[in-house]
Structure 1
């Protein structure tokens, strides 16, 4: 459902036009060269709403191409990036590329009501931007609390050739620097996220009814996989450090979390 394509654009006519304005006393080796067109990276993402059990307990989640987190978007610095999003969920949504610059393409920043309208159910939107940076980033919904429902994924941008890797600043040992250099060429992303058993809409309903936001996220998923382990209040209290116990003793009846 998603793809990455690479293409180069040759402008023969433009090259001839440029050559015609070069002074005749300059030889071919001195002729100016036209900059090459940027390489393209294209992705297709479909957002759906379905039953999923990342913790072994089924709940409704927002899936990107049938999974959460969504597929990793991996491309090169200086690429011209196109991300086509089809919203087949029942909710309005957008997609934000966290930390990425949108020079000249502010409409691709994914903030509903500011840089674009919502992508309505059954509709689509195409994001286009230049990859001016490199490193690890992520994309996510910028509508309501849809991140908590699984609408997020990793972005990995490979640096342009010749970019210095100052690994010696981490460890001056030559062997360590070489090991980090090798690891950089085979890097894989690990998305760590917290999760509730209830959907974001169900959580919001509880918040409105109680007047208290649910602050306790005790379940972690690694690349979308994990398990639910809810410790009883007695066991959590037994694991308190002396400093935590002293702090809690200042307020009679207080506890470390809202569960105990």
Structure 2
């Protein structure tokens, strides 16, 4: 254990670093380089200390006008936390904003530190304006993750950054499955050590608070963004009506014509029609003109982001991370195949694709063979939902090249559709872990959930994950947080489930139609195996009961995807409903949020609490009961 003297020293140093970046002493951490405390000896793991300061500043990320955003250490998009597998992380947050906040470490299992999961009202109290908080956890699993706010929808305002945990040398890599040539394998290993996380996200000219305000005033499920950002900046493109028609899904286009609207809006969006919002009283007079119908057009002063690569290595490793508010994104690179080698931080059996889907909350790691012309090759990113035609661009530059390629070979168009039917798409649900991981062949308990809009008398933007109740955003202010309560006193409800430690648990999610859309679901605390999916309802009480009634191969217990963020199945054929089944082992006791990662759906109620391992409930340290993770001051 740390000595009181060492903690006092750490706290003293921390207090000196509370001010804004410009006024802090040089010893404070405000860059991508974390400070490794080499003084730690014996059996204790190395400690990586990482500090961020949060402020609100103005930014014009897409050249269409400035808006407020959240800056981390005076930068838009936070610095990357680099650590080694097994390191202990001390992550300090200084809140200089005029609003409460918190930080969640997306994909980090928190197996022995559930009080550092960062969900206000559930695992901690809010970090108040002017306050600091110390998150303390161990990097048990290697891979690429990210930290982001879990307060309100602050992620839509830019509060996020990457977490890269380097694997141990003995960890088996799947690179020999990409190429049998030893030189290629060595080059890929070198490229992995230089892997860069690249954030791709949707972006609105409205702050998250303004965005939700429009929803409330107009009583609509607001879904129309302004641009796609790559690493924090991008452009707004205004297409002609003919161009939008060419890229609009034929079914959507036909519906618009039947409803006398004819086309997408100038911003490429489905207008807020009654048919798509449901049976609610809409107040469309409260929708600003800029929300749907006016496309300004513009470009960030920095232009499109450039991903520089060194062709002498032979390969490049990139991990695409989507922290966006609404949209899953399709991504391709002109003239290059993408060799997917990890998903959500987990190595997978490699898949070669022309286009990859990066869902909200997902991380897709790819190897790229650098064997093309030394030029600037276009990276294309586009919304995958049918509701809006929206694209963005970056450039992959060989050796600092400034020229465009002589003969570019695009894989997708502006709307993200493949140029050729012979090209291959990748979705995370196609992956299988490497080395192989298998779930139990049966579950100890099953919970069935139903994802849909709440309907009347609720509002058009309110959702449920359980069938009839929404998880109210006001739970962020619950005090004391649920983790600190006596778990025996917490009742089992539609929104609160309990499991026993070591149990295998099935979650069956039925997505209700009509227009059953895919929802990116994220369970805190652990990854899950996606064992099956299908169209129609799921009338059975368990997967075991369903197996004899469904076609052979419906369920996969041998090599299913292993993910921390997975998509439910969208509408298939004529069936209104779809279902998705996942299985996990409740091996880490704690209070875990399970929710849709679309920010407007979460704020609208699509979430619930899973209390895993109630028979082995953790004792929360005093530092996290009363002192925001810091040791209480020593009294003489």
- Residue by residue over 1:88-131, the C-alpha shift from the partner in whole angstroms, topping out at 9 and shown as x without a partner, is 01110000000101122111100000000000001110000011
Aligned residue in 1 for 2:177: 169
Contact 2:96 2:129 in 1 (8 A): yes
Report SS of the residue matched to 2:245.
helix
Contact 2:116 2:136 in 1 (8 A): yes
Report SS of the residue matched to 1:107.
helix
Aligned counterpart for 2:120 among listed residues 103, 112, 132:
112
Aligned residue in 2 for 1:53: 60
Question: Structure 1: where are the runs of 5+ without partners?
Answer: 12-34
After superposition, the Cα gap between the structure-2 partners of 1:69 and 1:245, relative to the gap in structure 1 and judged at 3 Å, is same
CA distance in 1, matches of 2:129, 2:200: 28
Map 1:1-260 → 2, pairs under 5 A: 1-2=29-30, 4-9=34-39, 36-56=43-63, 57-240=65-248, 244-246=249-251, 248-249=253-254, 252-253=258-259, 255=263, 257-258=269-270, 259=292
CA distance in 1, matches of 2:212, 2:189: 45
Contact 1:97 1:110 in 2 (8 A): yes
After superposition, the Cα gap between the structure-2 partners of 1:236 and 1:176, relative to the gap in structure 1 and judged at 3 Å, is same
Q: Single out whichever of 226-235 and 40-49 deviates more from structure 2.
A: 226-235
Q: Single out whichever of 173-182 and 162-171 deviates more from structure 2.
A: 173-182
Q: Single out whichever of 110-119 and 187-196 deviates more from structure 2.
A: 187-196
How far is the alpha carbon of 1:165 from its aligned partner?
1.4
- TM-score norm. by structure 1 comes to 0.83
CA distance in 2, matches of 1:226, 1:48: 22
After superposition, the Cα gap between the structure-2 partners of 1:232 and 1:147, relative to the gap in structure 1 and judged at 3 Å, is farther
Select the structure that is richer in helix.
1
CA distance in 2, matches of 1:198, 1:247: 26
Name the count of aligned residue pairs.
234
- Residue by residue over 1:167-221, the C-alpha shift from the partner in whole angstroms, topping out at 9 and shown as x without a partner, is 1223334443233222112111111111101101111111011111221234111
Report SS of the residue matched to 2:91.
strand
Contact 2:205 2:226 in 1 (8 A): no
CA distance in 1, matches of 2:200, 2:208: 18
Select the structure that is richer in strand.
2
After superposition, the Cα gap between the structure-2 partners of 1:59 and 1:85, relative to the gap in structure 1 and judged at 3 Å, is same
Report SS of the residue matched to 2:55.
strand
> Computing the radius of gyration over CA atoms, which structure comes out larger, 1 or 2?
1
CA distance in 2, matches of 1:166, 1:110: 33
Contact 1:41 1:82 in 2 (8 A): yes
RMSD over aligned Cα atoms: 2.1
Contact 1:76 1:160 in 2 (8 A): yes
Q: Single out whichever of 226-235 and 39-48 deviates more from structure 2.
A: 226-235
- TM-score norm. by structure 2 comes to 0.35
CA distance in 2, matches of 1:63, 1:196: 16
After superposition, the Cα gap between the structure-2 partners of 1:38 and 1:50, relative to the gap in structure 1 and judged at 3 Å, is same
